[in-house]
Chains A and B, each alone.
Chain A
Amino acid sequence: NAGVMQNPRHLVRRRGQEARLRCSPMKGHSHVYWYRQLPEEGLKFMVYLQKENIIDESGMPKERFSAEFPKEGPSILRIQQVVRGDSAAYFCASSTRQGGYTFGSGTRLTVV
C-alpha cells in the first residue's frame, strides 16, 4: 500500500503562473482533503472532495483556487495566477467513509 502520494514534492512558480498539485489517495479511500500550511502555522482546511463531488470548500479562497477529484485519476488542486502569499506547504489527506485520515508528504510551493 503506497499511502497517499503527492507530487511534485517541490514546485517553484513565478508570480502569475499556474500551479497544479496532485494527490493520489490511498487504495480504497474515496475521500480527499486538502490543507495548507503557511510558515510557522498549523494546517488549515481548504476543501473536502469525494469522487466527482466537492463536499465542503469552506476553506478555499474565493478566487484563483479550485479543486477536483475526477472519477479516474488523482485529485488536483489548481492555483491560478499565483502570488507570493500562496507560498506554503499543501497537504493532501485521504480517508474511507468511516474516517481514518492518512496524510501525504506534501507539496512545497514557492512563488518567486
Chain B
Amino acid sequence: AQSVTQLDSHVSVSEGTPVLLRCNYSSSYSPSLFWYVQHPNKGLQLLLKYTSAATLVKGINGFEAEFKKSETSFHLTKPSAHMSDAAEYFCVVSDDRGSQGNLIFGKGTKLSVKP
C-alpha cells in the first residue's frame, strides 16, 4: 500500500530565507511523486513531479525537490521565500502499475512567510 507522510503540519519562515517542506513516502511500486500548492480558496496547482528520470526535479516559482530512494523522501525546497509562497503544500504519490492509479495525498503543510 502507498502512503505519504508530511512531517510538518505548519512551517513558518521569514521572507528571503530558505524553505524546506518534508515528505516521506511508502510505495510498493515505482512511484511517481508530486508537489501541489493550494492558495486559500483556490484549486490545486502542480509545482513539480518526479517520474523516475532525474532525481533532482525543478519546478515552478523556484521550487525544487530531490527524490532520495534510500531515505524514501521527496522534500521540497526553495532558496529564498517570497510572501506569495504562503499557501498549503501537498506531497502526493501515485503508483505506476500500468493502469491509471489514483493519487494519494499527504495531509498538507501550511507555509507562512513573515515579512
List chain A positions with a Cβ less than 8 A from chain B.
31, 33, 35, 40-45, 48, 55-56, 59, 91, 93, 95, 97, 99, 101-106, 108
Contact = CB atoms under 8 A, between A and B. Distances in A.
A45 B103 contact: yes
Interface residues of B, number: 18
A31 B101 CA distance: 11
Closest 6 CB pairs of A and B: A42-B105, A105-B43, A45-B102, A103-B44, A43-B105, A42-B107
B42 interface: yes
A91 B43 contact: yes
B108 A42 contact: yes
Given A42-B108, A91-B44, 5 more contacts: A41-B108, A45-B102, A91-B43, A101-B46, A103-B36
A41 B46 CA distance: 18
25 contacts: A33-B102, A33-B103, A35-B103, A40-B107, A41-B107, A41-B108, A42-B106, A42-B107, A42-B108, A43-B103, A44-B105, A45-B103, A45-B104, A48-B102, A56-B102, A93-B103, A95-B100, A99-B32, A101-B46, A101-B103, A103-B36, A104-B43, A105-B43, A106-B43, A108-B41
Contacts of A91: 43-44
A56 B63 CA distance: 33
A102 B94 CA distance: 14
Interface in B1-58: 32, 36, 41-46
